[in-house]
C-alpha cells in the first residue's frame, strides 16, 4: 500500500461533511464550465482539401510511423460533419467545445497568406457553436506544425518559430477574437518536446543515442530544452500581443495547456520522494516556474547546467504572469523511483527518476493506466501550494476503450461514466479545499485518431464508426450520463477515488 496515511486523511476530510452522492453541477462554482474536446489533426480529416497543406503529423503518419500505420486523413471527418457534431453537443448539453485551429489549414505555408477556405471553415464552426449557445475554447497550436516551417528552419529549434507563431496567433485573434473568448496558445509543450526531441517517437523524430533508438538526427541532451524555450517565448509573445492589442476590446482570456502527469514516490524512501519532486519539477515546473517566477526550476538548472537556455531579464519579465489561466490535461500517475544509475548511464535529465514505470509512453500504450483519481487532487494541491493557486481549466481527462469489434457497436461504457464521476468528485473536493479550478473538459467529445494509438483506443463520449464512409456517430451511454449530469443530475462516484491500490 502506498501512502496509506495521507490517503486516509484525504478520505476523511473529503467525505465527512456531506454525502458525495448528492453532488450536482450546481455544487461547482458559479460560471464553472463543463465541456468536451478534440484537436484539429485528430478530428478534422480533409487533410488535402481546400488548400490545407501538410503538418509534421501528416508527414509522420504518411511515412508509417504511427500506431498500426494509421493516419488521420479522414478520421472522424469533422470538416464535413461539423454541423451534425455541434447539434450533438447541443443535445448533450455541453457549455463549451474545446478544439484547435489547424495552422496548416489557416496559413498553409506557416506564414504569409491566410487560406480563405480555412478561414471560412473556422468561421462556420465558431458561428455554429455560438448559434447553439456553446462557447468555443480554442487552442491555437496543438502539435500540428506546418511541415514547411520544419523544412525551412527546423521548426521549434529555431527562434524564427517565435515570430511565425506570433503572426499566426495574431491572425487567429483578428479573425475569430470577436467570438472566441478563451484562447490556449500551445497544447502540451511539455510532451511535444520529449516525444519530438528526446525519445524521438513523435514528429519531427529527433533524438540521439542512447535516449531514442531510430533517429537519424538530433541531440536529446539539448534539443528538448531549446524547443521548450522557444515554445515558452512564443507563448509569452502571443500573450503580450493579445493583452496589448486585443484583450481590452475582445475581452477574452488566454492561457497555455500542459500535460499534467502526477509523479508520486514509488516507496516511502526519502530518495524516491526527492525523485518524485524532481520529476514534477521537470514535467510541470519546466513551464509553470518560468510563467510564475520568471525562470526555470533550480533543479533543472543544477541538472542540465549550460544545456538549459538562459532567460534574459526582458524575457523573464515577459514570461512572469503571462497567463489568465493554465490548462491541464490529466490522465495518469507515474510512480517515481530514484535511479541514479540510469541518470549516470544515460545522463538523462528527464526520466532517470521515473524508472518505477520504465517509460510512461510504453505504459500508456500497454494500457497499464493506474486508476488514480486522487492524483488529480494532488496535482491541484501542488499547483495551489507551489504556483500561487492559478486559475485552472482541466482541459483533458478521459477513459479509453478498445474499439468495437468489427460491425458491433458498443454503447455500454459504464467504466467511462464511472471514471468521469470519480474524477469530477475529486475535482469538486479540490475546489472546496481552495483550488481555483474553473472548468472541466472530457477528452474526447467523440472518437478521434489518437496521437499515440491511432484508432486502437477510443476516448469518445460519442463513438464514430471509422469503417464506413459516412463516419456515422453514435451516442455512448457515457454521453447520456454526462448529459444527465449537465442537466442537473447527481454524481454517483464509485467510492474508489482515494484507494491508491
Ligand atoms: C487541502 O489543502 C491543504 C493545503 O493545500 C492540503 O494540505 C490538504 O491535504 C488538502 N486536503 C484535501 C482533502 O485535499
Ligand atoms: C525502432 O525501430 C524498430 C524497427 O522498426 C522498432 O521495432 C522499434 O519499436 C523502434 N523504436 C522506437 C523507440 O520507435
Ligand atoms: C510505508 O511506510 C508505512 C509505515 O511507515 C509502511 O506500513 C508501508 O509498508 C510503507 N510502504 C512502502 C511501499 O514501503
Ligand atoms: C547561462 O548563464 C550562465 C551564467 O552566466 C553561463 O555560465 C551559461 O553558460 C549560460 N548558459 C547558456 C546556455 O548560455
Ligand atoms: C471495466 O473495468 C474493469 C476494471 O478495470 C475491467 O476489468 C473491465 O474489463 C472493464 N470493462 C470494459 C467493458 O472495458
Ligand atoms: C491495423 O490496420 C489494419 C489495416 O488497416 C486493420 O485491419 C487492423 O484492424 C488494425 N489493427 C488495429 C489493432 O487497429
Q: Write out pLDDT tens, residues 374-391.
A: 999 999 999 999 999 999
pLDDT at 341: 54
Look over the chain and give the mean of its residue pLDDT values, rounded to a whole number.
Answer: 88
28-37, 114-123, 305-314: range with lowest mean pLDDT: 305-314
Do the beta carbons of residue 114 and residue 171 sit within 8 Å? Answer: yes
Measuring from atom 6 of ligand 6, which residue has the nearest CA? 68
Do the beta carbons of residue 417 and residue 480 sit within 8 Å? Answer: no
Measuring from atom 11 of ligand 2, which residue has the nearest CA? 213
Alpha helix positions (H), 93-115 = 103-106
Measuring from atom 9 of ligand 5, which residue has the nearest CA? 415
Backbone angles phi, psi at 259, to 5 degrees: -75, 135
Q: Which of the pair, 202 or 332, is modelled with greater confidence?
A: 202
Cα within 13 Å of Cα(259), Cβ side: 20
Angle, vertex CA 319, rays to CA 314 and CA 320, nearest 5: 100
Rounded to the nearest angstrom, the distance between the alpha carbon of 381 and the centre of ligand 1 is 6
Measured from the alpha carbon of residue 309, the closest ligand is 4
Distance CA 296, CA 299 (A): 8
Helical (H) or strand (E) element with 138: strand 135-141
Rounded to the nearest angstrom, the distance between the alpha carbon of 334 and the centre of ligand 3 is 18
Give the active site residues: 188, 396
If you average pLDDT over residues 304-316, what whole number do you get? 93
Do the beta carbons of residue 26 and residue 94 sit within 8 Å? Answer: no
Selection from 268, 266, 281 nearest residue 334 by Cα: 266
Helical (H) or strand (E) element with 257: strand 253-259
Rounded to the nearest angstrom, the distance between the alpha carbon of 420 and the centre of ligand 1 is 22
Residue 359 has pLDDT above 50, yes or no: no
Q: Which atom of ligand 5 is nearest to the CA of 371?
A: 5
Selection from 209, 206, 235 nearest residue 223 by Cα: 206
**What's the fold here for domain 5-486?**
TIM Barrel (3.20.20)
Residue 472 has pLDDT above 60, yes or no: yes
Q: Which residue has the cell 520522494?
A: 273
Backbone angles phi, psi at 444, to 5 degrees: -125, 165
Distance of CA 340 to the CA centre of its chain: 30
If you average pLDDT over residues 334-341, what whole number do you get? 72
Could you tell me the CA-to-CA distances from 442 to 93, 102, 179, 231, 397 in Å, in that order? 13, 21, 22, 25, 5
Bond prior to 210 in cis (omega within 30° of 0): yes
Rounded to the nearest angstrom, the distance between the alpha carbon of 413 and the centre of ligand 5 is 9
Distance CA 220, CA 210 (A): 9
Q: Which atom of ligand 6 is nearest to the CA of 68?
A: 1
Q: Using a 6 Å cutoff on CB, does residue 401 contact ligand 5?
A: yes
Q: Using a 6 Å cutoff on CB, does residue 213 contact ligand 2?
A: yes
Do the beta carbons of residue 52 and residue 146 sit within 8 Å? Answer: no
Residue 10 has pLDDT above 60, yes or no: no
Do the beta carbons of residue 286 and residue 297 sit within 8 Å? Answer: yes
Could you tell me the CA-to-CA distances from 249 to 243, 246, 325 in Å, in that order? 10, 6, 19
Rounded to the nearest angstrom, the distance between the alpha carbon of 202 and the centre of ligand 4 is 29
Residue 55 has pLDDT above 70, yes or no: yes
**Best of 17, 373, 377, 381 to mutate for ligand 1, by most ligand atoms within 8 A of CB?**
381
* pLDDT band with cut points at 50, 70 and 90 for residue 371: confident
* pLDDT band with cut points at 50, 70 and 90 for residue 93: very high
DSSP character for 117?
H
Strand runs (DSSP E) across 38-132, as ranges? 96-100
Would you state the cell numbers that stand for residue 501, as one nine-digit string? 491500490
Helical (H) or strand (E) element with 37: strand 33-37
Distance CA 193, CA 172 (A): 24
**Secondary structure string (H, E, C) spanning 416-454:** HHHHHHHHHHHHHHHHHCCCCEEEEEEECCECCCECCCE
Q: Using a 6 Å cutoff on CB, does residue 382 contact ligand 2?
A: no
Task: Give pTM, 2 decimals.
Answer: 0.91
Structure-derived torsion over alpha carbons of residues 103, 109, 111, 113, reported in degrees to the nearest 10: -100
- The number of beta carbons lying within 10 Å of the beta carbon of residue 329 is 21
If you average pLDDT over residues 262-278, what whole number do you get? 87
pLDDT at 383: 98
> Which long-range contacts (C-beta less than 8 Å, at least 24 apart) are formed by 57-60?
57/143, 57/144, 57/203, 57/451, 58/104, 58/147, 59/147, 59/150, 59/203, 60/202, 60/203, 60/204, 60/205
Could you tell me the CA-to-CA distances from 174 to 36, 52, 177, 237, 372 in Å, in that order? 25, 20, 6, 16, 41
Return the top range by mean pLDDT from 237-251, 252-266, 276-290.
237-251
* pLDDT band with cut points at 50, 70 and 90 for residue 11: very low
**Best of 310, 311, 313, 315 to mutate for ligand 4, by most ligand atoms within 8 A of CB?**
310
Q: Which residue has the cell 481552495?
A: 434
Measuring from atom 4 of ligand 2, which residue has the nearest CA? 214
Return the top range by mean pLDDT from 45-49, 276-280, 452-456.
45-49
Q: Which residue has the cell 489533426?
A: 41
Amino acid at each position: 500500500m502506498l501512502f496509506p496515511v495521507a490517503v486516509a486523511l484525504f478520505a476523511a476530510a473529503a467525505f465527512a461533511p456531506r454525502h458525495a452522492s448528492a453532488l450536482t453541477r450546481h455544487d461547482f462554482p458559479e460560471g464553472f464550465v463543463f465541456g468536451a474536446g478534440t484537436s484539429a489533426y485528430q478530428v478534422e480529416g480533409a487533410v488535402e482539401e481546400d488548400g490545407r497543406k501538410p503538418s509534421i503529423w501528416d508527414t509522420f503518419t504518411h511515412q508509417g510511423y504511427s500506431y498500426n500505420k494509421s493516419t488521420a486523413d479522414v478520421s472522424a471527418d469533422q470538416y464535413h460533419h461539423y454541423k451534425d457534431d455541434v447539434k450533438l453537443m447541443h443535445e448533450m448539453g455541453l457549455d463549451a467545445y474545446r478544439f484547435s485551429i489547424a495552422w496548416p489549414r489557416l496559413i498553409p505555408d506557416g506564414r504569409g497568406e491566410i487560406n480563405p477556405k480555412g478561414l471560412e471553415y473556422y468561421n462556420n464552426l465558431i458561428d455554429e457553436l455560438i448559434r447553439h449557445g456553446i462557447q468555443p475554447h480554442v487552442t491555437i497550436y496543438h502539435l500540428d506544425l506546418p511541415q514547411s516551417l520544419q523544412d525551412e528552419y527546423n521548426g521549434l529549434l529555431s527562434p524564427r518559430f517565435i515570430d511565425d507563431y506570433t503572426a499566426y496567433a495574431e491572425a487567429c485573434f483578428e479573425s475569430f477574437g470577436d467570438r472566441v473568448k478563451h484562447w490556449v496558445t500551445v497544447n502540451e509543450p511539455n510532451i511535444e518536446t520529449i516525444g519530438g526531441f528526446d525519445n524521438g517517437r513523435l514528429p519531427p523524430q529527433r533524438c540521439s543515442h542512447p535516449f531514442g533508438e531510430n533517429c537519424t538526427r538530433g541531440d536529446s541532451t539539448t534539443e528538448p530544452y531549446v524547443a521548450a524555450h522557444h515554445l515558452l517565448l512564443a507563448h509569452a509573445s502571443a500573450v503580450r500581443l493579445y493583452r496589448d492589442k486585443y484583450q481590452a476590446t475582445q475581452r477574452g482570456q488566454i492561457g497555455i495547456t500542459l500535460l499534467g502527469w502526477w509523479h508520486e514516490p514509488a516507496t516511502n524512501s526519502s530518495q524516491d520522494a526527492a525523485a518524485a519532486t524532481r520529476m514534477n519539477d521537470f514535467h510541470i515546473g519546466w513551464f509553470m516556474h518560468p510563467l510564475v517566477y520568471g525562470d526555470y526550476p533550480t533543479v533543472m538548472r543544477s541538472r542540465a547546467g549550460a544545456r538549459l537556455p538562459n532567460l534574459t531579464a526582458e524575457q523573464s519579465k515577459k514570461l512572469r504572469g503571462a497567463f489568465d489561466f493554465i490548462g491541464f490535461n490529466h490522465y495518469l500517475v507515474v510512480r517515481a523511483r530514484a535511479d541514479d544509475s540510469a541518470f549516470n548511464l544515460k545522463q538523462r535529465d528527464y526520466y532517470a527518476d521515473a524508472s518505477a514505470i520504465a517509460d510512461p509512453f510504453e505504459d500508456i500504450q500497454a494500457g497499464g493506466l493506474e486508476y488514480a483519481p486522487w492524483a488529480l487532487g494532488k496535482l491541484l494541491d501542488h499547483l495551489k501550494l507551489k504556483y500561487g493557486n492559478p486559475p485552472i481549466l482541466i482541459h483533458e481527462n478521459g477513459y479509453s476503450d478498445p474499439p468495437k469489434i468489427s460491425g458491433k457497436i458498443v454503447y455500454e461504457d459504464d467504466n467511462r461514466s464511472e471514471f468521469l464521476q470519480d474524477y469530477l468528485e475529486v475535482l469538486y473536493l479540490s475546489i472546496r479545499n481552495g483550488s481555483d479550478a474553473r472548468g472541466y473538459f472530457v477528452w474526447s467529445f467523440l472518437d478521434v485518431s489518437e496521437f499515440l494509438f491511432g484508432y486502437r483506443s477510443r476516448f469518445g463520449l460519442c463513438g464514430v464508426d471509422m469503417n464506413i464512409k459516412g463516419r456515422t456517430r453514435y451516442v455512448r451511454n457515457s454521453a447520456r450520463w454526462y448529459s444527465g449530469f449537465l442537466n442537473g443530475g447527481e454524481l454517483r462516484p464509485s467510492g474508489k477515488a482515494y484507494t491508491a491500490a
